[in-house]
Structure 1
Amino acid sequence: MKSYKYLILSGLTVVSSLLAGCEKTEDPFVDRVVAPVLVLVDGASDGGGQTAEPVVTQKITAPVVMTVKILELDKSGILDYKVGIDSIPVASLTVKLMKREVKGTATVMTAIADLKTDATGKATLTKTWAELGIAAPAVGSSVSLTWTGEYKGQAFSRLSRIQGVN
């Protein structure tokens, strides 16, 4: 009988120490903030530009033209199936376009353009391959980009990539 008491007492001690050690902590690896806008990359290979880094293919013999559409998502009707989530174009929003390059262990960002969205929420970049840092583009040449801005006091970023084709 005595051995059962010690067994039960040890089991309760182990369980209570495990429960005491279970407290909710923040994720130390990824600081997540919900983006204030949805940034869609037109012409992306995935059809809607909703992958982590949508790729837009451009001819190496022509200027690079890339368009993003920026939308605010109105979720006030999310619980009403007749309303749902509404996508509202964000007009007159300044978006900075940066080129991303990995050099050694660091990522170097270079400003390419400041763009402004039109009434439909679209901002279009038109540059030559040389202006993007590729003097002699070949099939497979690519440029990694980051679209950044601020909406209603909250910053956002969107990755994308341009890749050269024939």
Structure 2
Amino acid sequence: MKNIKTFAGSLCLIATITFATLSCKVEDPMLNSVVSPVLVDVVGATFGAPISATASVPTDSSSQEITVASRLFELDKTNILNNEIGIDSIPVSAIALSIKYELTKSVKAEKFTIKGQTYTFTPETYKSSGNWGEITSDGNGLVSLKTSFKKLGFEGNRIQRKGDIIKVTWSGTHKGIAFTRFSQIAVTEK
């Protein structure tokens, strides 16, 4: 009797796992996703950046120059089952990337006094976006652009402060498949 109960319990467990597995394999007709042909590894991003949805690069607010860079890799998965070789990352050269930026900054009304003179910032929401241009990856798969906070519009009442976020979009095409990678520049203070 005990063996029958164990057999019946095992059979129910297998049936439940099979049903759960089959129900998870249903394709979502609303999503038309394609695996990216390249891995865009954002240089300087915090830990977990290649896997996380938005790679964040901390940048000091007093920096005179901002460098935005990434490495492009094609993943060779032919040896994925060989634990001594695994997946190989091959740098991809000559890929044209379009790099865009967007920032939204809300400036609160502030009053402060310096040497007896009172200054007031009026509240405003500032939006800026633009195209940094197109750049082609070099022989090592590296793309790099330099800019400054001033060129991005951080002047006067819009100076960069801790917590400001500049969103960056990397877009390109490889082997006929379009891809986009999102990252951000997170303004910090020393």
TM-score category (smaller protein): 0.7 to 0.9
Could you list the runs of 5+ residues in structure 1 that have no partner in the other structure?
Answer: 1-21, 103-107
Of 77, 80, 85, which residue of structure 1 is paired with 2:79?
A: 77
1:6 paired residue number: none
2:45 paired residue number: 44
1:128 paired residue number: 148
1:156 paired residue number: 179
1:52-108 alpha-carbon deviations (Å, 9 max, x no partner): 001101122221112111100011111222321110001121111112467xxxxx9
Of 154, 159, 162, which residue of structure 2 is paired with 1:139?
A: 162
1:30 paired residue number: 31
2:108 paired residue number: none
CA distance in 2 between counterparts of 1:81 and 1:37 reads 22
State the Cα distance separating 1:50 from its structure 2 match: 2.7
1:141-161 alpha-carbon deviations (Å, 9 max, x no partner): 210111000001100000000
Q: TM-score, normalised by structure 2?
A: 0.65
8 A contact 1:95–1:148 mirrored in 2: yes
1:114 paired residue number: 134
Could you list the runs of 5+ residues in structure 2 that have no partner in the other structure?
Answer: 1-22, 105-127
8 A contact 1:140–1:164 mirrored in 2: yes
State the Cα distance separating 1:30 from its structure 2 match: 2.7
8 A contact 1:36–1:151 mirrored in 2: yes
1:67 paired residue number: 69
Q: TM-score, normalised by structure 1?
A: 0.74
The SS at the match of 2:143 is strand
State the Cα distance separating 1:118 from its structure 2 match: 1.5
1:42 is aligned with what amino acid?
Answer: V
Q: How many residues align?
A: 139
The SS at the match of 1:77 is coil
